[in-house]
Every structure is written in structure tokens, then in C-alpha cells.
Amino acid sequence: MSNAMRSEPPIENPKTRPVDTKLEVVVIPVSDVNRAKRFYDGLGWRLDADFTNDADFRVIQFTPPGSGCAIIFGRNVTAAAPGSAQGLYLIVSDIDAARRDLIARGVEVSDVFHDASGVYAGKDEPYLFGRLRIAGRDPEHRSYRSFASFKDPDGNGWLFQEVTTRLPGRIDADETAFSTSSDLASALRRAAAAHGEHEKRNGGKHDENWPDWYAEYMVNEQAGRELPL
């Protein structure tokens, strides 16, 4: 075999950092482009593009607030059936606030629900933790376990999922960041509530170092590490 025909040897170091591959666009199949544009604009999402090359092609892009991933839809953008996109997750730090916002915008949103742990059969719509929805928040207020759902006019299905504390390894603690002011405000409220309990345990004395305590709490919460007491 000539040198020109030889393939490159495989990279054997399993610790080699992979090339950055950022998920930035999800395609949403719709039947009425203008109706879909009005709906997603009404959610308060940022309109990034509305391009038309000719009578047979149009693409529209929206980005949810604080998201690094956008959606696109349009004419001749996908062959998928309108309404077939399901289980589209929108991560929020305060699910009640997210519901209130959409309701104020005239969008029909389900009540908050949680999963039946260990039960993966039922008549409810599929989602990450199974097909049996139980009304109300997760009773233990666990991160990842409280949901609400809504649909666009074609029936494409969206889920709010409340995430307040990431599982270990999901966030680089050295790069703590909050994508929106509301996410930061929610984190501050949780830190304030926890710090109040911290002061009670210490005889109610004012903690002069509360900024350091807040910072440690918020970084550890986001990184999924043990929280300060």
C-alpha cells in the first residue's frame, strides 16, 4: 500500500480533549410559518433571522432568553411532520416564575408536575422520567424533578424543567456563570434563605462574612458540590 493510501493512525490517548462541538440549532417542523413566528415572538424569544431566498424557501430563527441554542423553522426547512418535535426541554431556575410569564403572554401551560419515581409506564405524554405525571412540585424539591409543559400551535411539545443544582461534573466550578439576571436573582434568593438558616444555627448573630458565604453557596450549588452549612 502506498503512503498516499495509508490511513492516519488512531489517536490512542483517551484523555485527549475532543473538538468543541456546540449544539446551536434545533429544527422545529411547522405547517404555518407566519403563525409559528407570531407564537414564538409572543414568548418573548429573540428573533435572530427571517430569510427568504425565493418563493420556495424561508427560514426563521429564534433564541430563548439565556439559551445558547436556537430553533429554526420555515418553508422547505425540514421534511418532518408538523408537530412531531416532542420532548424539547427548556431549563429554568424557577418553574413557577416561568409558568407565570407564559400565562401572562396568553400561552396555555400545564400545572407543575413531578414524576412517579421508578414508574415508567402510563398514559401521560413521554418525558425524561417516564409517562406518569403527579400533580405538584417534587415533594423533596429535588433539582431536575419538577416540570410543566406547553405546545406551539402545531403541537410541538415543550417542557419546562426546574434545575437549581447541577449534578456533579456537569458544571466547571472555575467557570461559574449565570446566563440571565433572573437566574442570578433566583440563585441569590436561595442563598439568602440558606444563609438565614445558617445564622439561626449560629445564635442569630449577624455574619460579617456573608458575601463569602453567599459566593461559596452559589458556586457549589451550580457545580453540584456540597453546600456550606
In angstroms, the CA 36 to CA 30 distance is 7
Comparison of pLDDT for 207 and 87, the residue scoring more: 87
Taking only the tens place, the pLDDT of each residue in 160-194 is 999 987 776 666 556 667 767 777 888 888 888 88
Give residue 12's pLDDT. Answer: 55
Instruction: Please give the C-alpha separations between residue 183 and each of 97, 198, 218, in angstroms, as whole numbers.
Output: 11, 22, 11
Instruction: Please give the C-alpha separations between residue 180 and each of 62, 94, 159, 212, in angstroms, as whole numbers.
Output: 17, 12, 19, 22
pTM for the predicted model, two decimal places? 0.70
Contact of 183 with 66, CB cutoff 8 Å: yes
Give residue 13's pLDDT. Answer: 57
Give residue 2's pLDDT. Answer: 44
Comparison of pLDDT for 91 and 225, the residue scoring more: 91
For 15-169, list the strands marked E by DSSP.
25-27, 46-54, 57-63, 70-75, 88-92, 113-115, 133-135, 146-151, 157-162
Taking only the tens place, the pLDDT of each residue in 107-124 is 999 999 998 877 777 888
- Average pLDDT rounded to a whole number, residues 80-102: 95
Look up residue 152 and give its DSSP letter: -
- Bridge partners of 130, per DSSP, are 127
Asked which of 72-76, 147-151, 208-212 is least confident by mean pLDDT, the reply is: 208-212
